[in-house]
């Protein structure tokens, strides 16, 4: 047996393929079957004169998504899907499929989401999952090649990291409440003090109460954290990282991007250096574009679109008002009102894909912040220890995987970028 993706190495040979029926059409004495096997699509020609009457009959009656096996001869055929065709000599059904719910006609999104377990078999979903995987590989390769150690934080945690409004709470035996992690960052900081350069990569959870195209309640985040880095080092790392991811996908996933009709010229532009502007400069851009925006507010999605539309590559917006950012961010020594934070906004209106910062490394200041934010100090004692025993400047960021996949695929909604999305109104299938 061979895989459809390897047909090109078997021209002129007799091969066996196993897969599922994607589509079929017939014209008298010939049946054209499109088989998919998860690695590609191929047209199979069942010619009445070449097979037994039983096989011809079977080919005629196959329902969509029937699993079957064929043996036949591989021919080059420029016009066929994938560039090759197979002349069938024999065909056996593995398991029948009748009335497959997803048909070539248009289905509504809710219907497709209810059938997500089957929808994943379609060409478009196939392409997205393959691109997601290539992005994950690029993420791992990037950090592994640069001496980062993978560091796995806990998912069950006693406290909030990114504000208390989006916590998933659960009872934890006799210890009271526990929460699903919103970010592995605080643990990554302990990791950076032990291993210098670390990254976490795993699922994170936010009880997002709004229904938007950009929010999942369960999403994957990769978070590098580096000892002795300041905000500039952090931005240099983010920029090199994004260029690496995008260029890896362009190199290895051209076919998938084509299926998605992605305008790849926009992705070709994702090369260093990226523009760096301060929050204050970003606010000036909004004002120039007629937006009524007050300095000190956080940007909404439409604001991010206007800002990112000024540039042809991702833009790094740094030094936000500390009041709209997390408790752990270091203040700008030149202006205490500002946090040494950076958000990276993707082009083409895709908005924030990275959030990061230099961390507060002074014990007294961090204690003050924990108080201001009304956080339960006892759960942060271990985190404060990192400032008690040889504290050093350090910085890191978090990249949202699904937001990155959405942008690189050029699609509208995060829900198609993860096998089984979790959102406010959906926790099935």
Enumerate residues 6+ apart whose C-beta is below 8 A from 251: none
Query: What b/e string do you get for 123-152 counting C-beta neighbours within 10 Å, with b at 16 or more?
Result: eebbbbbbbbebbbebbeebbeeeebeebe
Nearest to 419 by CA among 118, 197, 139, 157: 118
Residue range at the interface with Mg ion (CB under 5 A); choices 20-28, 132-140, 187-195, 355-363 = 355-363
Residue 202: φ, ψ to 5°: -175, -175
Strand partners, 107: none
The binding track of 180-199 with respect to ligand 4AD, each residue x by CB under 6 A or -, is: ---x-x--------------
**Which phi-psi region, left, alpha or beta, contains residue 12 (left: φ > 0; alpha: ψ -120 to 50)?**
left
Pairs from 104-107 (Cβ < 8 Å, separation ≥ 24): 104/23
Rounded Cα–Cα distance for residues 171 and 179 (Å)? 9
Q: Are 131 and 256 in contact (CB under 8 A)?
A: yes
Q: Which is nearer to ligand 4AD, 37 or 162 (CB)?
A: 162
Q: Which is nearer to Mg ion, 72 or 356 (CB)?
A: 356
Among 87, 90, 114, 208, binds ligand 4AD (CB under 6 A): 208
Residue range at the interface with ligand 4AD (CB under 6 A); choices 87-95, 269-277, 309-317, 350-358 = 350-358
Q: Which is nearer to ligand 4AD, 11 or 152 (CB)?
A: 152
The binding track of 126-165 with respect to ligand 4AD, each residue x by CB under 6 A or -, is: -----------------------------------xx---
Q: Are 78 and 19 in contact (CB under 8 A)?
A: no
Query: Which residue in the shown chain puts its C-beta closest to Mg ion?
Result: 355
Should residue 355 be labelled a site residue for Mg ion when binding is judged by CB under 5 A? yes
DSSP assignment string, 286-347: HHHTT----TTSPPPHHHHHHHHTT-SS-EEEEEEEGGGS-TTBPEETTEEEEEEEEEEEET
**Count of beta carbons in the 10 Å neighbourhood of residue 79:** 7
3-state SS assignment for residue 185:
helix
Find the shortest distance in angstroms from Cβ 35 to ligand 4AD.
Answer: 36
Give CA 412 to chain center in angstroms: 13
Q: Which is nearer to ligand 4AD, 88 or 161 (CB)?
A: 161
- 396 contact choice in ligand 4AD, Mg ion, none (CB below 5 to 8 Å, kind-dependent): ligand 4AD
Among 238, 353, 370, 375, binds ligand 4AD (CB under 6 A): 353
357-416 positions binding ligand 4AD, by CB under 6 A:
357, 396-398, 400, 402-403
- 17 contact choice in Mg ion, ligand 4AD, none (CB below 5 to 8 Å, kind-dependent): none
Find the shortest distance in angstroms from Cβ 148 to ligand 4AD.
Answer: 13
Find the shortest distance in angstroms from Cβ 197 to Mg ion.
Answer: 22
Should residue 234 be labelled a site residue for ligand 4AD when binding is judged by CB under 6 A? no
Find the shortest distance in angstroms from Cβ 405 to Mg ion.
Answer: 17
- 325 contact choice in ligand 4AD, Mg ion, none (CB below 5 to 8 Å, kind-dependent): none
Rounded Cα–Cα distance for residues 200 and 223 (Å)? 5
Find the shortest distance in angstroms from Cβ 131 to Mg ion.
Answer: 23
Q: Where does this chain bind ligand 4AD (CB under 6 A)?
A: 161-162, 183, 185, 206, 208, 215-216, 219, 221, 223, 352-357, 396-398, 400, 402-403
Q: Where does this chain bind Mg ion (CB under 5 A)?
A: 355
């Amino acid at each position: 047996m061979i895989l459809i993706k390897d047909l090109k190495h078997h021209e002129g040979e007799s091969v066996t393929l196993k897969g599922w029926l994607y589509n079929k059409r017939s014209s008298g004495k010939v049946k054209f079957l499109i088989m998919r096997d998860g690695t590609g699509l191929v047209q199979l020609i069942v010619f009445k004169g070449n097979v037994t009457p039983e096989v011809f009959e079977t080919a005629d009656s196959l329902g969509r998504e029937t699993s079957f096996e064929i043996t036949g001869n591989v021919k080059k055929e420029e016009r066929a899907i994938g560039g090759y065709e197979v002349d069938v000599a024999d065909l056996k059904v593995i398991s029948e499929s009748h009335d497959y719910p997803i048909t070539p006609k248009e289905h509504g999104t809710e219907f497709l989401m209810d059938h997500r377990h089957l929808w994943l078999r379609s060409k478009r979903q196939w392409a997205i999952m393959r691109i997601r995987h290539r992005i994950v590989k690029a993420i791992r390769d990037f950090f592994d090649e640069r001496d980062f150690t993978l560091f796995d934080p806990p998912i069950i945690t006693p406290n909030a990291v990114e504000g208390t409004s989006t916590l998933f709470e659960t009872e934890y035996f006799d210890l009271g409440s526990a929460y699903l992690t919103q970010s592995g960052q605080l643990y990554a900081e302990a990791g950076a003090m032990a291993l210098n350069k670390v990254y976490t990569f795993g699922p994170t959870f936010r009880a997002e109460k709004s229904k938007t195209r950009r929010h999942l309640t369960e999403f994957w985040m990769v978070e590098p954290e580096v000892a002795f880095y300041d905000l500039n080092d952090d931005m240099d790392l983010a920029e090199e990282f994004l260029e690496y991811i995008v260029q890896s996908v362009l190199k290895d996933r051209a076919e998938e991007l084509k299926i998605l009709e992605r305008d790849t010229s926009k992705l070709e532009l994702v090369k260093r250096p990226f523009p760096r502007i301060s929050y204050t400069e970003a606010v000036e851009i909004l004002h120039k574009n007629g937006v009524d925006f007050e300095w000190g507010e956080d940007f909404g999605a439409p604001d991010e679109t206007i800002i990112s539309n000024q540039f042809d590559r991702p833009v790094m917006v740094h030094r936000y008002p500390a009041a709209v950012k997390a408790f752990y961010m270091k203040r700008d020594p030149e202006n205490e009102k500002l946090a040494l934070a950076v958000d990276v906004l993707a082009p083409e209106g895709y908005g924030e894909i990275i959030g990061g910062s230099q961390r507060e490394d002074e014990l007294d200041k961090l204690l003050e912040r924990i108080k201001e934010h009304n956080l339960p100090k006892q759960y942060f004692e271990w985190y404060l220890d990192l400032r008690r025993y040889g504290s050093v400047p350090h910085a890191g960021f978090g990249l949202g995987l699904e937001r990155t996949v959405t942008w690189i695929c050029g699609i509208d909604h995060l829900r198609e970028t993860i096998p089984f999305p979790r959102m406010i109104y959906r926790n099935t299938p």
